[in-house]
Amino acid sequence: MSRDFTPGAVILIVCGWLLYLTAGFEVDPFGVSQGFSATRMPRLAIGVIAGLAVLMIVRGIRAGRAEAAPAPPRKMWATAVILAVAAALIETIGVLLVFFAVCVAVPMLWGARNRIAVLVFAVAMPVAVFIVFQGLLGLRLPLGPLSFLAI
């Protein structure tokens, strides 16, 4: 079995659970919501994540036994913890600060040495997320202490 199968299966199970939770969202009447509706956006994100998980599993199966490993590396579990803590902090400190922290912590955990590149990435990613989701799609992101940016 591929080393990618177990993490991919866990991701698919979580995505299935999250899709089940989104089934309880109130449906916005067509044309009432501005930008992406509150029912479509989570499902789109979950669908993309599930698709990437399936791709990861298929890639691992095609690679065969040469890639088999007894257990995922500890860095993978540390990354999962970082992302879980980040998800818990979104309402408190906002999406932009959480993305900045994750974009610094994960590359450093995995051994990134070019700190300037990590810093540029950590600033550019939240800015891009803000522009796309808040500016272009019209979604209201939880911004926490940076709520003054939602003009």
46 plus 90 within the same structural domain: no
pTM of the entire predicted model: 0.63
Q: How far is Cα 92 from Cα 3, in angstroms, rounded to an integer?
A: 35
Decide if 36 contacts 139 (C-beta within 8 A): yes
Residues 47 and 90 in one domain: no
The reported pLDDT for the residue numbered 30 is 54
pLDDT digits (tens, 9 = 90+) for 54-100: 999 898 888 776 555 566 678 888 998 999 999 999 888 988 899 99
Q: Could you give the number of structural domains in the chain? A: 2
Q: Which amino acid is at 72?
A: P
Same domain, 8 and 58: yes
In this structure, the answer to whether residues 83 and 111 fall within a common structural domain is: yes
Q: Are residues 81 and 143 in the same domain?
A: yes
150, 133: one domain: yes
pLDDT in tens, 91-110: 889 888 999 999 999 999 99
Beta-carbon-side half-sphere exposure of residue 126 (alpha carbons within 13 Å): 22
Assess whether 90 and 38 both reside in one domain.
Answer: no
Does the pLDDT value for residue 35 go beyond 80? no
pLDDT digits (tens, 9 = 90+) for 37-55: 666 777 888 889 999 999 9
pLDDT at residue number 121: 95
Domain containing residue 4: 1-71
6 and 47 in a single domain? The answer is yes
Query: Distance (Å, rounded) from C-alpha 52 to C-alpha 110?
Result: 20
CB 58, CB 46: distance < 8 Å:
no
